[in-house]
Amino acid sequence: MSKLKPNTISIELQIDQDNEVMDVEVEYNLSVTMSEDQKSFYVNVVNGLNSKLKSEIDTFAKEGFFIKEISQLRALADHMVSVEPYDDEDDSEFTIDFEPDEELVEAVSEKKNGHKIIKFNGKKVH
C-alpha cells in the first residue's frame, strides 16, 4: 500500500553534492476507479518525467535560469515605471544618431550619376 494519496505523483530528487550526482525517484498512486486509458496516460507521464529528469536536468536548470532572469527584469521594469513614468515625448534616451561617412557626403553632393549615388545597369541580372 502506497503512502501517497490517491491520484498523486511524487518526484524525489536526491543530490550527492560530493560526487555531483542526482538520483531521481518517481512514485505514483493512481485510484482504482481511474479508467485504464487514464492510468496508461499517467503511467506514461511518470515514465517520461523520470526519463527527462535523469537525462535533461541541464535543460530544466537553463529554463529555471531564464524564468529567474525574466522575473528580475520584469521587477526592474515595474520599478522604473513606478519611479518615473515613461514620457512618450522624451525619447532622448532612445535615439540613434546617424553620422554619414565623409565619402557618402561627397558622393551625394557630387551627383555624378544624377540623383543616384550608385549607378546600376538597367539590364536585369539573373
The reported pLDDT for the residue numbered 47 is 95
pLDDT digits (tens, 9 = 90+) for 41-75: 999 999 999 999 999 999 999 999 999 999 999 98
- Three cell numbers, residue 105: 557626403
The reported pLDDT for the residue numbered 97 is 77
The 3-class secondary structure across the chain, one letter per residue, is CCCCCCCEEEEEEEEECCCCEEEEEEEEECCCCCCHHHHHHHHHHHHHHHHHHHHCHHHHHHHHHHHHHHHHHHHHHHHHHHHCCCCCCCCHHHCCCCCCCHHHHHHHHHCCECCECCCCCCCCCC
> Does residue 113 surpass a pLDDT of 80?
no
Domains of the chain by residue range: 8-55
Q: Is 35 left (phi over 0), alpha (psi -120 to 50) or beta?
A: beta
C-alpha 60/C-alpha 98 separation (Å) is 43
The reported pLDDT for the residue numbered 62 is 96
The reported pLDDT for the residue numbered 87 is 58
The reported pLDDT for the residue numbered 66 is 96
> Does residue 23 surpass a pLDDT of 70?
yes
> Does residue 91 surpass a pLDDT of 60?
no
The reported pLDDT for the residue numbered 110 is 73
Mean pLDDT, the chain, whole residue set = 83
The reported pLDDT for the residue numbered 64 is 95
Which position has the higher pLDDT, 91 or 12? Answer: 12
